Amino acid sequence: MYPEYMVAPIREDLTSAGFEQLMTPEEVEQALSTKEGTVLVAINSVCGCAASKARPALKMAVASADQKPDKMITVFAGMEADAVAKAREYMLPYPPSSPSIALFKDGELVHMIERYHIEGNELNRIVDNLKGAFEAYC
């Protein structure tokens, strides 16, 4: 776990863009057990690829997309371990990955972006990937 003063600005990077920070497994279950609408999930992290690509791509995609998810949530890897573990249960069969981004529609996982899609990719390609998923499913 990291000191909260270190992660507070990292949390705010997404919450200021409209993401709801979930802290408990119960909150995650409530958000992801819905069978109607779309939910975008960001597993946030302190790593460099989260700072330079994942969070900026999420914010850019949400800000510029014509179609957007109904709900946007985030959990923080390395902090709320139980909440992250619960979110990852919904992301199976994908292995744990931080950062990562998942889109659910009507309770089903329909799009997944793993860390290796983020760290080795250009920012605009990640944005386009997200916007394409929004157009297809939202």
Catalytic (active site) residue 138: no
Q: What is the pLDDT of residue 48?
A: 85
Q: Give which of 126, 130, 2 is closest to 76, Cα–Cα.
A: 2
Q: Which of 46, 47, 65, 123 is catalytic?
A: 47
Question: How high is the pLDDT of residue 117?
Answer: 94
Per-residue pLDDT at 76: 96
Candidates 7, 17, 46, 49; catalytic one? 49
- The SS3 call for residue 115 is helix
Regions of the chain with pLDDT less than 50: none
Distances (CA, A) of 84 to 23, 27, 123, 131: 9, 11, 24, 24
47 catalytic? Reply is yes
pLDDT for position 2: 87
The 10s digit of each residue's pLDDT in 60-83 is 999 999 999 999 999 999 999 999
Cα separation of the two ends of the chain = 34
